[in-house]
């Protein structure tokens, strides 16, 4: 490692409140000793707690990696912070900066101070933050031809990327941009937002959706609906910390053969020592039709999945439900999702089925990025509205926002948030501090 590190840092002062209380950490800043590579945290603490308040330090790298450094920090405060001014935490970071320099695409690290402040927020209160207008506005910000080959499509694609970069890069998430070359024609870009777990940051839930479209379609249902769900979820969980990690991923080039998800898994996920609890892939979650006969059932589906088919038939072929598709390996994720949805969003109609192996005998079950996870041994389910068995606007110019049911979409997003809450487990920690961005040069 070059001993003459040039370290640039930004200094911020913040004063934050949580849940309407006047409890906050203020005057938080970081001083850096470039010779010893030591981070010095100074702040005032006005949190009222008889036994003191526990804290955590979290280091996030620019390539999406993170580390919990709480046990290696030392200071006058021990593992609990008592109210008062001039509190200090010191963290020697030599090894991590050395590692960071050798990591591909790592040009910065982010240091966050988290403090346990009060009780865990109840899941039902988190669900109350999701509303119809919130989901609608997200769809309208994205909708439009997002096909990489034509001028208008590329313009809209880049506009969507800016939205993803801004949303994923703010609100207490670590942003990682996973880029790849597509047939020497263009550069694909997956966007990854990571919220690190408090107690087990290698245990992770992945929520995904693709943001590209086919040629000349506005892609409202396919798949502005799924991306809108990601953006809504980001807002809902931003201020909450969880025991396990949460990763939200917007895939590029799904319509070109699941290219983006394949690159993400092969070049990123498989190289990390992560315990992936489950993957929830959102693709076409906005089209619902309550008229009898609006949901078709292919003969092969009726023969192979009689229980799911019986529910559709009993409901007079109404397309007013969401479909949960799993493979045999992913049944535990499907069952947990059903369980939480029924408990927390009881008015959302669900129909679930599971294909044998990885769905090779049922190609229609493999029409989105969840199939890439199946093929690589991960537990994943697809959540969708049935595609062209219901939505006649599938891959057509008529796939526009006026066809979507935003009330039902909001219920779907709530069901995903319920799954996140139950599996990742909210904690009483809050990120009171601003983040100190430290750029590393040679």
Tens digits of residue pLDDT in 260-294: 999 999 999 999 889 999 999 999 999 999 999 99
d(C-alpha 58, C-alpha 60), whole Å: 7
In this structure, the strands spanning 350-355 and 322-327 are: parallel
Q: Is 391 in a helix, a strand, or coil?
A: coil
Q: Are 185 and 233 in contact (CB under 8 A)?
A: no
d(C-alpha 79, C-alpha 138), whole Å: 41
The confidence score (pLDDT) of residue 62 equals 57
State how far the alpha carbon of 215 is from the alpha carbons of 144, 296, 366, in Å.
11, 26, 21
Q: Please enumerate in sequence order all residues whose Cβ is within 8 A of that of 323, keeping only pairs 6 or more positions apart, or say none.
A: 351, 352, 353, 382, 383, 384, 385, 386
d(C-alpha 40, C-alpha 109), whole Å: 15
Q: How many residues comprise the chain? A: 442
Beta carbons within 10 angstroms of residue 54's beta carbon: 17
d(C-alpha 327, C-alpha 152), whole Å: 37
pLDDT at 442 over 90: no
Three-class DSSP labels, 274-330:
CEEEEEEEECCCCCCECCCCCCCCCHHHHHHCHHHHHHHHHCCCCECCEEEEEEHHH
- Please, what is the end-to-end C-alpha distance for the chain in angstroms? 9
Least confident of 42-46, 69-73, 160-164, 200-204: 69-73
Q: What is the mean pLDDT of residues 165-191?
A: 88
Cis peptide before 223 (omega within 30 of 0): yes
d(C-alpha 1, C-alpha 102), whole Å: 9
In this structure, the strands spanning 186-195 and 244-251 are: antiparallel
What are 81-135's pLDDT values in tens digits?
A: 666 777 666 666 544 444 443 333 444 556 666 777 666 678 888 899 899 999 9
Q: Please enumerate in sequence order all residues whose Cβ is within 8 A of that of 3, keeping only pairs 6 or more positions apart, or say none.
A: none
Element counts in the chain: helices (H) and strands (E) = 11, 18
Q: What share of the chain is helix, strand, coil (3-state, %, to 5)?
A: 35, 30, 40
The confidence score (pLDDT) of residue 52 equals 57
| Predicted confidence band of residue 27 (pLDDT cuts 50, 70, 90) | low
Of residues 407 and 14, the one with the higher pLDDT is 407
Q: What is the mean pLDDT of residues 162-166?
A: 94
Domain annotation for the chain: domains and CATH numbers: 6-119+428-441 (2.60.40.10), 123-424 (3.40.630.10)
The confidence score (pLDDT) of residue 12 equals 30
């Amino acid at each position: 490692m070059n001993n003459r590190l040039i370290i640039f840092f930004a200094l911020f002062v913040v004063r934050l409140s949580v849940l309407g209380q006047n409890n906050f950490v203020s005057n938080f800043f970081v001083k850096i000793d470039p010779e010893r590579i030591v981070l010095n945290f100074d702040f005032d603490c006005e949190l009222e707690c008889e036994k003191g308040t526990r804290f955590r330090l979290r280091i996030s790298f620019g390539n999406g990696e993170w580390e919990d450094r709480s046990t290696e920090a030392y200071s006058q405060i021990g593992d609990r912070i008592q109210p008062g001014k001039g509190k200090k935490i010191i963290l020697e970071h030599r090894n991590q900066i050395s590692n960071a320099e050798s990591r591909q695409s790592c040009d910065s690290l982010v240091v966050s101070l988290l403090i346990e402040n009060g009780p865990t927020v109840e899941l039902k209160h988190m669900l109350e933050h999701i509303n119809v207008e919130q989901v609608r506005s997200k769809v309208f910000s994205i909708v439009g031809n997002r096909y990489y080959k034509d001028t208008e499509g590329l313009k809209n694609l880049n506009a969507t990327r800016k939205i993803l970069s801004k949303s994923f890069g703010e609100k207490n998430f670590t942003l990682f941009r996973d880029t790849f070359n597509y047939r020497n024609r263009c550069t694909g870009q997956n966007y990854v937002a990571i919220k690190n777990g408090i107690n087990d940051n290698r245990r992770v839930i992945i929520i995904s959706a693709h943001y590209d479209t086919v040629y000349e379609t506005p892609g409202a249902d396919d798949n502005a609906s799924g991306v809108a769900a990601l953006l809504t979820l980001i807002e809902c969980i931003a201020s909450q910390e969880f025991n396990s990690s949460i990763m939200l991923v917007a895939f590029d080039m799904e319509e070109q053969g699941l290219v983006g998800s394949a690159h993400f898994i092969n070049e990123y996920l498989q190289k990390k020592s992560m315990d992936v609890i489950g993957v929830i892939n959102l693709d076409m979650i906005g089209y619902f039709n309550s008229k009898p006969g609006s949901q078709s059932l292919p003969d092969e589906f009726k023969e192979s999945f009689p229980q799911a088919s019986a529910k559709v038939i009993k409901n007079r072929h109404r397309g007013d439900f969401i479909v949960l598709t799993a493979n045999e390996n992913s049944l535990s994720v499907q069952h947990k999702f059903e369980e939480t949805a029924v408990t927390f969003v009881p008015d959302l109609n669900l129909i679930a089925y599971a294909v044998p192996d990885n769905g090779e005998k049922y190609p229609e079950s493999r029409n989105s990025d969840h199939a890439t996870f199946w093929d690589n041994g991960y537990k994943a389910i697809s959540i969708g509205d049935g595609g062209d068995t219901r939505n006649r606007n599938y891959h057509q110019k008529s796939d526009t926002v006026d066809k979507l049911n935003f009330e039902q979409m909001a219920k779907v997003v709530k069901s995903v948030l319920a799954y996140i809450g139950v599996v990742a487990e909210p904690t009483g920690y809050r990120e009171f501090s601003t983040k100190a961005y430290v750029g590393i040069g040679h």
